[in-house]
């Protein structure tokens, strides 16, 4: 996968501070005055903004070019309503040579990986056969796999990225989603180092999201065992 930040709000720090202070400053040249603030004054304002109403954060935008990700990922990705998206079409693009994502589950599981890869090869052959038989791409695409690779362009505000970070950086998030989103955050911080506190979660969307994956696995395993014990008692009774 490749994640590239291709555009962002110019002069974002000053825009952010200006929109926050619009309700307090009546000067026509307030924006120019804020530009003249010292870096210490600006940082103090940013620190203050972290714990206030976030509406001003919506004036700062980031546009990402994301390539080589699965449609399973983008199906989740576009559920974030406060975003704009442009995605590669399978309706008009011939997907004869499609690539696909192999999830981390298959690492070290050779038998399962072979089954998975064989299935992908079969789908590719059947898709090509359909196209060669004159079936339009928009109809042949019905057999393409969910993990087929795709490209998507996405735009989010700073506020939306902040909210997404509280769930998508969680250990509970899908591995591919977590990896893509971390690359997005890294790209933003590279151009706007001051934005890091806005994008690194100090809290999760729900308390349970803070639990590491092994804790979840232990709890699930415990639940399964308890349910089996209950069922066994019922049978014995």
Residues with a catalytic annotation lie at: 168
Per-residue tokens: 149 = 């690779």
Q: Would you say 65 and 184 are in contact if contact means Cβ atoms under 8 Å apart?
A: no
The candidate with the shortest Cα–Cα distance to 128, out of 117, 140, 139, 116, is 140
Per-residue tokens: 199 = 């994008």
How far apart are alpha carbons 77 and 124 in whole angstroms? 25
CA distances from 61 to 30, 31, 212 (A): 21, 18, 31
**Cα 174-180-182 angle, rounded to 5 deg:** 100
């Amino acid at each position: 996968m490749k994640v590239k930040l291709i555009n962002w709000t110019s002069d974002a720090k000053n825009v952010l501070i200006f929109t926050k202070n619009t309700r307090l400053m009546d000067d026509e040249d307030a924006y120019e005055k804020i530009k003249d603030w010292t870096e210490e004054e600006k940082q103090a304002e940013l620190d203050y903004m972290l714990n206030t109403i976030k509406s001003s954060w919506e004036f700062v935008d980031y546009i990402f070019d994301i390539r080589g990700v699965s449609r399973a990922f983008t199906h989740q990705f576009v559920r974030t309503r406060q975003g704009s998206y442009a995605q590669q079409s399978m309706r008009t693009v011939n997907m004869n040579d499609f690539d696909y994502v192999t999830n981390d589950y298959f690492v070290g599981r050779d038998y399962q990986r072979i089954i998975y890869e064989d299935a992908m090869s079969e789908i590719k052959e059947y898709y090509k056969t359909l196209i060669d038989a004159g079936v339009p791409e928009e109809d042949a695409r019905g057999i393409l796999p969910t993990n087929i690779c795709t490209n998507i362009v996405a735009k989010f505000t700073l506020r939306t990225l902040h909210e997404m970070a509280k769930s998508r950086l969680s250990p509970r998030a899908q591995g591919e989603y977590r990896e893509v989103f971390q690359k997005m955050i890294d790209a933003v911080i590279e151009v706007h180092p001051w934005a890091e506190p806005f994008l690194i979660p100090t809290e999760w969307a729900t308390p349970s999201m803070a639990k590491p994956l092994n804790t979840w696995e232990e709890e699930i395993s415990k639940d399964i065992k308890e349910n089996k014990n209950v069922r066994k008692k019922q049978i014995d009774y």
